[in-house]
Structure 1
Amino acid sequence: MYIKTALLSFVLSIGHLAHGQQIPFDHKPLAETEQLTGDMVSSIHRFLDRYVSQVTSSRDKEWAQHHSVDDFHSFVASKRVLLAKQLGVVDKRLEPEMLGYYQATDQQTRVQNKGYRMEAVHWNVLEGLSASGLVIYPKGPVKGRAVLVPDAGMPPEHLAGIVASDLPGFARAQRLASQGWMVVIPLLVDLGQAYAGNATLGLHSSLTHREWIYRQAYMLGRHVIGYELQKIFAAIDWLEQLEQSSNSPIGVAGYGEGGMLALYAAALDPRIATTVISGYFNNRSDLWQEPVYRNVFGLLKDFGDAELAAMCWPRKLVIEHALVDSVTSFGGRGAPGRIGTPDTEKVWAEFVRAKAIVPENQPHLNWVADGQSPLSQPFSDQAISLFANSNKLRKTQAIPTVNEWIDSQQLQQNNVVEMTALVQRVLQLCENARDSFFWDNLKGDYTNQEVAKDSLRTLLWNQIGKLPIPSGPLNTEACILEKNERWTSYVVKLNVWDEVFTWGILVVPNAIKPGEQRPVVVCQHGLEQSPYYLINTNTATRQYDYFKAMPLTLAENGYITFMPANPYVGDHYFRQIQRKANPLGLSMFSFITGQHQRIIEWLKSLQFVNDEKIGFFGLSYGGTTALRVPAIVTDYKLSICVANFNQWVKKCASIDIPFSYMYNSEYEIQDWDFGHTFDTAEKVALIAPRPFMAQRGSFDNVGRDDMVAGEHAKVRRHYMLSGLPEDYVPLTYFVGGHITEEKSALKFIYRFLPLN
């Protein structure tokens, strides 16, 4: 609908220009208006495609600076701290304890032969989190201790050879056990969907279990990767304390998803003497195309797989190039992602790059493949020989028949449900962390808080991902959209960075006199909308219902309005901006914030704009913008948030409310660790002492009255304790849905952005 409107308006604008209408600011003619939003989103994609090369180049230079052994080890130690935080490995582990299941089930949980025995076990990890899997005990002296990590969805019994399966790597754990190694095999969260939801409330997400945990944990500075690493480290804690094997080496070997975990584990934990990475090692520049549950915020700024491998030096690391099952889609409401066998040339190039990073040419890296091709099976004899430091592998012995082994599906259910409960517990406690991080730093009235807020504002900007302040020529392009007796509207395009641009619709009252300056209200549309929605005057359309053409009402009352286009248009295409940006330490709001900086710069350059009276209004996703951008860009002198104000962290991470982002397809919405730093109230506090209004429609399904009121109570308290009048921070309730209540919004604007 809005595209047709744009086309009609463009035709009208040609007519206006043909009659000699003048545009009252410097510009070049804008010839194309129909595809501006799509082109803008594409420009951000191209920026990110180039930016990943800049980031990796900077990373290469940083790692290349450390030549001496001592300097390299010191550098790597600092990187371990950073990597642990990025992966959410931040909680203290419990004292190790390994327990069998034999007392809790009638099913078989133990089996043995002449060479070794196997037992189903579980072990302590964190408060509220345990791990389950298998332990294989060799008979005779223990020559080594290993954690063998399967791919997601591969039961530990498969690698142990207890339950027959056509999955890769069947019974390979027996190879290690036959060499005298004690082996722990943990169960990973799989790609099923059965337990992704809240059965008590009848809510189901249709996400894979790994994405289910990822979404809720990511918002809280935790990660499914981090929790599974903690399970591996807890197993190592237990293996390390065993007196009878205290002098034997500890190793980790993993395949597929387990290979990813083994690589991270070896980079983080110097106790790991030897490691095998099978079917995972690769160049990670296209991490955004992999499953979303592999997304790690800021990872590529500091780490590629080569850097992670270098962090293991001088400990032994075996890169085994092996086939993995291809997965191309996750369906339902899940994020699209792709897993496949890594390209041989890319894997080899990353291997060579890892060898070049370490300060001395010591043989810590080893390559295993089938010539120029990947191996058909993981954990080959060559890889196991290198791992176990054995020139000759002993023959394995047959495992006795197993009639009814412990139910692995029940263990998987326990695995998912327990991890979910832990994340939800973190969600309940993170408000206390925000108090310490944010509110405890704000003392006195608003004049005494300026320094602390500037510091917090910088932290918020860094957390969403700060790009350089836009500079260079604006290269303003414009054309007239419509002119009537009261106002004239223009389509305007502005350069931001390189080829990244923004565009919007400017409406200027005709009655502005020479030398006169008027206030501006920047009005922001919502998800999958456009600036044309805001000026739609057809009362029979849904587009009109959202905004009631409020920008035109403002223009008729003497105000300048500008309606910028935000890039959240195009379903997966715009969501991929977030996927590309996150590993680079950026987000979609990195670009939106920069675009608004440029908009402010341009508006202030207009001779008829009052620099000190520029306000902001946004609905839905535009309401998210109304919270984030004015919190950072202080040139906005007031902000109105419509159909968005809520307990944002809870809305994103809670499994207990049906309108949570845990149950829809907006997989780009989660922000890394906002749970411990910036919820809605904290962002509004950064807007203070500027006036702020929130609107809540009683039938708006994106929120709930108690959540809105509870979060606003914090905001109101802050304004009052800061010595600000109560009318600076109203919460307007109205009978309606996901729309604007224009009367109260206009009254607020007239009050705090008066014409005179």
Structure 2
Amino acid sequence: MLCAVWLIGFTIASAEDHNTTRATAELQTLPDTQPLLLEEPLDEWMVRGINRFAERELSRSSDGRQRNWHRDYASEDRYLQSVQANRERFAKIIGAVDPRVDQPTLQMIISQDDFQSPAPILASSTECIVRHVRWPVMDGVTGEGLLLSPKGQELTASVIAIPDADWSPEALVGLTADSDANPFVLQWVQQGCEVLVPTLINRDHEFSGNPAVAFTNQPHREFVYRTSFEIGRHVIGYEVQKILAAVDHFVARRESQQQHRPIGVAGVGEGGLLAFYASAIDTRIESAMVCGYFDNREQIWREPIYRNVWSLLTEFADADIASLIAPRRLTIEACGVPEVDGPAAVTPGRRGGAAPGRIRTPPLATVRDEFSRARSHYQTLGCPEKIEFVASDKGTGPAGSIPAVTSFLTGLKLPATLKAPEKLVPHLPLVDASARQSRQIDELVERNQRLVRDSPRIRDQHWGKANRSTVESWIETTQAYRDEFYDEVIGRLPHAKLPINPRSRLMIDEEKFKGYEVVLDVFEDVIAGGILLLPTDLQPGERRPVVVCQHGLEGTALSTLDQRKDRFLERGFAAELALRGFIVYAPQNPYRGGDAFREIQRKSNPLKRSLFSYIIPQHERTLEWICTLPHVDPDRIAFYGISYGGKTAVRVPPFVPQYALSICSADFNEWIGKTTSNLYRASYVFTGEYEIWEWNMGNVASYAELACMMTPRPFMVERGHRDGVAPDEWVAAEYAKVRRHYDELGLGDSTTIEFFNGPHTIRGLGTFAFLHKHLNWPEPK
């Protein structure tokens, strides 16, 4: 049984107790380590420290952003040329990467009862007529909304006005009373502008799910985000593409008519974000108005997850995005927006698990500060009059104040003789907004599913330069792929490590092994820690292999010693391996604490980092220290992880060459489908792991490619038939790629998969034999 010191998690209640603990620790530490005097659970200390590190990095992000810019203010042409690469990178990180249709056209939508009228009027006033329209965007994707046309006057400009996600197009133009939207867009119609008002994916959750699986409490925007992120797409990018497809239509029409009509884009709240981003990407937009969105984004991790953009703050604060609009007209309006507190309550018949996130009206002071940074680019370029700041009622009033509307019209070179617009009068029943929302969601989700189905082909093409003719050629030609995955999917921390500063204390004292809790420094506030198990029969001068045993989600290092976790074993797998004579190290990984660790991912993604950006350096530091221990053979160190530890098994050893082999237990599967499928019951689309996605991984490498990065080191999969992680068929098909790869390189004996009749657990039969064989350690008799 585990007898022991069991200090972890205990609170030191008095100075006397503290001194006693210190004296005890000094007598029971590993050689060449300081006493570990930890007064809280290791996992809590670790997670809190990484959170502090990530927050500090966000606050420092402005220091590094400018390294990615080389603005040339000498002339407008040279300026535009100097920021073009930034513009292209911005489009890529928001997922606006797919080609749009060649001949976009606005199509009038009519019902069966309206066949006699080719363009039925939905509503009108003496100044304006309103029609229901849609337009093609890309294969299988359309935009849909309202088109407002001036009545009785020549067109002067084309405007796309984007409502907040909580508002329907009808709400923005005053046809419904279900929001506090100000119908300011009608004032643009007064000036001869045609105004297109698109439908956004909204924040309701009616369609977030699949009747064949389950429905959830995720906002529709999050549901689309979840199916998009892994394949390098985003709900933001899709909706920007819808806006730009409308711009394509307006540009094509004016060219065919040989009449230049300026194009403007404006938006409120979520629509402000989209207007801002679309205008940054497309220089054909001559005037942009951003209402209630512009702000300092260092707290973006607190906003809804559907605003999470990988690597955003490494290059693009809001002021930098504004610099992509220069020298065109930009109007920033500080105003009130619909505020959000998420997630929604879980209602009967629905799953929970939606990500937390909130939206607040940006504070006027921070908007002004960010605006001043944006204005500096216009100032240096010599056009400060092209950017204007407006505060609607001290920054909390409704969007579309007269100064903001006037500023926007100035960018379209239109006079502003504004008056109160007439209210629209409906002539036909309003569009079924719920059915329209369902169509828009289904199009994007189905497009994502098609992209997922095509992703193996994309990955095969991507890996086309890898040479499998020999082991040497494979290693040489795949280093670039290994670097790419680390840099672009995981995110590499550029920081130099601190001195190692090892601390330890005895925790477990058994007849056949002793266990020491160990803590090592990695970066400021970032530690590596775990439990080292040393067999008691170690002989002087003897060097033995090491097995690093990694726990699963919400586990601890101690859970690897718990027999309840590994149902086929008498003890936990770490303890069992120690009893077999291996030196064993059980690291504490930071995926523990619910939202506390998921916030690490949220804080890190904007800086092009993920949870594994910290986990890989933790393992590097751990192995650096383990290799100094007198009984360790540094050439025989294995990794063995279960569940989330299995995720670690394909994301850490390929990038840490000190690992001699890797075993992935209870996780290996077709990862891209697992993270994006709207049909598989255990897909992460339907669960509470809202941090799990890795940007564009589906186009770079799935589990087979990651496992092949281990070559020529041995790799094994352990899989229970009743493991709900994925179907056996997914696991077998993905592993078949690995087996073929090893076989083709003459390394077939270095990889295997063991299926067993059991659940999500460690079997410890074939895997233990694999460890003994490849670590050259005799099995017990």
- Range class of TM-score, shorter chain: over 0.9
Structure 2 residue 685 is matched with structure 1 residue 662: yes
Number of the residue aligned with 2:60: 54
Q: Provide the C-alpha distance between the structure 2 equivalents of 1:398 and 1:469, rounded to a whole number of angstroms.
A: 59
Deviation at 1:394, TM superposition (A): 4.5
Percent identity between matched residues is 35
Partners of 1:20 and 1:42 in 2: how far apart?
26
* Runs of 5+ unmatched residues, structure 2: 345-351
- Partners in 2 of 1:318 and 1:620 — Cα distance? 50
Q: Which whole-Å CA distance do the structure 2 matches of 1:18 and 1:156 have between them?
A: 70
The equivalent of 2:203 in structure 1 is 191
CA distance in 1, matches of 2:655, 2:721: 30
Question: Is the contact between residue 288 and residue 580 of structure 1 (CA under 8 Å) also seen in structure 2?
Answer: yes
1:652–1:662: 8 Å Cα contact kept in structure 2? yes
Q: Map 1:498-537 onto structure 2 (within 5 A).
A: 498-536=524-562
1:285 to 293, 298, 304: 298
- Deviation, structure 1 residue 410: 1.1
Aligned with 1:485: secondary structure? coil
Secondary structure in 2 aligned to 1:374? Answer: coil
List per-residue Cα deviations over 1:308-349 (Å, max 9, x = no partner).
Answer: 111111100000111012111123311000101001000000
Note the C-alpha offset of 1:405. Answer: 1.8
Q: Distance in 1 between matches of 2:317 and 2:497?
A: 30
**1:215 equivalent among 226, 235, 247:** 226
Equivalent residue in structure 2 for 1:587, among 610, 633, 653: 610
- Residues in 2 aligned to 1:71 and 1:177: alpha-carbon distance in whole angstroms: 36
Change over 3 Å in CA distance of 1:233–1:4 after alignment to 2: farther
What is the TM-score with the length of structure 1 in the denominator? 0.95
CA distance in 2, matches of 1:504, 1:171: 60
Paired with 1:579 and 1:4, the residues of 2 have a C-alpha distance of 38
Measure the CA separation in 2 of the matches of 1:475 and 1:466: 23
Query: Aligned partners of 1:350 and 1:91: how far apart in 2?
Result: 31
Measured after TM superposition, the shift of residue 559 of structure 1 is 1.1
Residue in structure 2 matched with residue 84 of structure 1 by the alignment = 91
The answer to whether the aligner puts 1:341 opposite 2:349 as a matched pair is: no
Q: Please name the residue that 2:722 is paired with.
A: 699
SS at match of 1:634: coil
Q: 1:189 to 1:6 in 2, by over 3 A?
A: farther
Where does residue 376 of structure 2 map in the other structure? 356
Cα gap change, 1:350 to 1:273, in 2 (>3 Å): same
CA separation in 2, counterparts of 1:326 and 1:16?
Answer: 51
2:446 aligned to which of 403, 409, 421: 421
CA offset digits 1:570-619 (Å, max 9, x no partner): 00110000000000100000000110010111111112210100000000
User: How far apart are the structure 1 equivalents of 2:143 and 2:391?
Assistant: 32
Do 2:26 and 2:35's aligned partners in 1 also have CA atoms closer than 8 Å? no
CA distance in 2, matches of 1:598, 1:542: 27
Quote the offset at 1:16 in angstroms.
Answer: 12
The one-letter amino acid of 2:774's match is: F
Deviation at 1:160, TM superposition (A): 2.3
Give me the TM-score of the superposition, normalised by structure 2.
0.92
Please give the residue correspondences for 1:321-400 in structure 2 after superposition, counting only pairs within 5 Å: 321-331=334-344, 332-358=352-378, 359-362=380-383, 363-370=385-392, 373-389=394-410, 390-400=415-425
The alpha-carbon deviation at position 485 of structure 1 amounts to 3.1
1:168-567 matches, cutoff 5 A: 168-199=180-211, 201-243=212-254, 244=257, 246-331=259-344, 332-358=352-378, 359-362=380-383, 363-370=385-392, 373-389=394-410, 390-438=415-463, 441-462=466-487, 463-468=489-494, 470-536=496-562, 539=563, 541-542=564-565, 548-567=571-590
Tell me which moved more, 69-78 or 451-460.
69-78
Question: 429-438 vs 582-591, which deviates more?
Answer: 429-438
Listed one character per residue, the Cα deviations across residues 177-229 of structure 1 (whole Å, up to 9, x for unaligned) are 11100111100001111111122x14223311100000110011000000000
Query: Contact between 2:566 and 2:762, CA under 8 Å: does it hold in 1?
Result: no
Partner residue, 1:74: 81
Partners of 1:20 and 1:55 in 2: CA distance:
41
Q: CA-to-partner distance for each residue in 1:271-320, whole Å, 9 max, x for gaps?
A: 00001000110000111000000000000000011111111111000001
Q: Residues 514 and 66 of structure 1: is their aligned pair in 2 closer, same or farther, counting only changes over 3 Å? A: farther
Q: 1:750: which partner in 2?
A: 772
Residue 390 of structure 2 contacts residue 404 of structure 2 at CA under 8 Å; is this kept in 1?
yes
Please give the secondary structure, in 2, of the residue aligned with 1:282: coil
How far is 1:488 from its partner?
1.6
2:697 to 674, 678, 692: 674
SS in 2 for 1:352: helix
Q: Which amino acid aligns with 1:723?
A: G
Instruction: Tell me, yes or no, if the aligned pair for 2:465 and 2:477 is still in contact at 8 Å.
Output: no
What is the match of residue 127 of structure 2?
Answer: 115
Matched, 1:724 2:747: yes
Letter in 2 for 1:213: V
Is the contact between residue 392 and residue 401 of structure 2 (CA under 8 Å) also seen in structure 1? no
Among residues 80, 84, 108, which one is paired with 1:100 in the alignment? 108
Paired letter, 1:471: K
Report the alpha carbon displacement of residue 695 of structure 1 after superposing the two structures with TM. 0.9
Distance 2:475 2:674 in 1: 30
Confirm or deny that 1:711 pairs with 2:737.
Answer: no
Secondary structure at 1:456's aligned position in 2? helix
Q: Which residue of 2 aligns with 1:576?
A: 599
Deviates more, 1:510-519 or 1:634-643: 510-519
Distance in 1 separating the partners of 2:170 and 2:234 = 25
Task: Tell whether the 8 Å contact from 2:666 to 2:760 is kept in structure 1 after alignment.
Answer: yes
Partner of 1:614: 637
Q: Quick check: 1:527–1:568 contact (8 Å CA) kept in 2?
A: yes
How big is each residue's C-alpha offset from its partner over 1:640-677, in whole Å with a ceiling of 9 and x where there is no partner? 11110000110000111000001111000011011111
How far is 1:623 from its partner?
0.4
In structure 1, give the amino acid aligned to 2:80: H
Asked whether the 8 Å contact 2:124–2:427 carries over to 1, the reply is no
Residue 146 of structure 2 contacts residue 198 of structure 2 at CA under 8 Å; is this kept in 1? yes
- Does the residue aligned with 1:123 lie in a helix, a strand or coil? strand
Query: Could you say which residue in structure 2 is the equivalent of 1:26?
Result: 32
Measure, in 2, the Cα distance between the counterparts of 1:457 and 1:105. Answer: 60
Question: Which range moves more in the overlay, 165-174 or 3-12?
Answer: 3-12
Deviates more, 1:309-318 or 1:132-141: 132-141
Q: Which runs of 4+ in 1 moved over 6 A?
A: 2-5, 8-17, 543-547
Counterpart of 1:598 (choices 617, 621, 633) is 621
Residue 653 of structure 1 corresponds to 676
Measure the CA separation in 2 of the matches of 1:605 and 1:449.
31
Distance in 2 separating the partners of 1:3 and 1:595? 28
1:143–1:245 contact (8 Å) kept in structure 2? no
Alignment partners' CA distance in 2, 1:736 and 1:528:
21
Q: Which moved more, 1:55-64 or 1:188-197?
A: 55-64
Deviates more, 1:3-12 or 1:115-124: 3-12
**Judging changes above 3 Å, is the alpha-carbon distance between structure 1 residues 62 and 219 closer, same or farther for their aligned structure 2 residues?**
closer
Tell me the residue number matched to 1:151: 164
2:409 alignment partner AA: A
Question: Unaligned regions of 5+ residues in structure 1, if any?
Answer: none
Give the 3 Å change call, closer, same or farther, for CA 178–583 of structure 1 in structure 2: same
User: Shift of residue 399 of structure 1?
Assistant: 2.6
CA–CA distance in 2 between the matches of 1:19 and 1:636? 31
> Using a 3 Å threshold, how does the CA distance of structure 1 residues 3 and 596 change in structure 2: closer, same or farther?
farther
* Distance of 1:584 and 1:542 partners within structure 2: 36
CA displacement at 1:263 relative to structure 2: 0.6
SS in 1 for 2:460: helix
Equivalent residue for 2:149? 137
Q: 2:347 aligns to what?
A: none
How many residue pairs align between the two structures? Answer: 748
Deviation at 1:78, TM superposition (A): 0.6
